[in-house]
């Protein structure tokens, strides 16, 4: 399994998003507000990708697998 690591530019971009508390080379910690928003929108039938895109995230930076796995948590 290959793992997506964030370079310095990607980390800066993610850190600038108000839905992110912390970001490192290997991980992201999302704000509680975003977690609640994600659950609410997912229950309404929106896809994880739609939720992340409308919240200011770029799919190419996060990676589709990371986005889709958020629904499993």
Cβ–Cβ under 8 Å, residues 62 and 44:
no
Kindly report, residue by residue over 7-42, the tens digit of the pLDDT.
999 999 999 999 999 999 999 999 999 999 999 999
Whole-angstrom distance between the N-terminal and C-terminal Cα of the chain? 19
**Rounded Cα gap, residues 61 and 45, in angstroms:** 24
Backbone angles phi, psi at 22, to 5 degrees: -145, 150
* Spatial CA neighbour of 51 closest among 62, 41, 61, 63: 41
Residue 68 pLDDT more than 50? yes
Kindly report, residue by residue over 44-61, the tens digit of the pLDDT.
999 999 999 999 999 999
pTM: 0.88
Token readout for 37 is 């928003």
Confidence label for 1 from pLDDT (cuts 50, 70 and 90): very low
* Spatial CA neighbour of 34 closest among 58, 17, 16, 9: 17
């Amino acid at each position: 399994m290959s793992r997506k690591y964030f370079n310095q530019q990607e980390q800066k971009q993610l850190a600038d998003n108000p839905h992110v508390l912390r970001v490192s080379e290997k991980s992201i910690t999302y704000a509680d507000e975003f977690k609640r928003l994600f659950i609410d929108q997912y229950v309404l039938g929106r896809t994880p990708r739609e939720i992340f895109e409308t919240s200011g995230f770029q799919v190419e930076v996060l990676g589709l697998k990371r986005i889709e796995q958020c629904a499993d948590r």
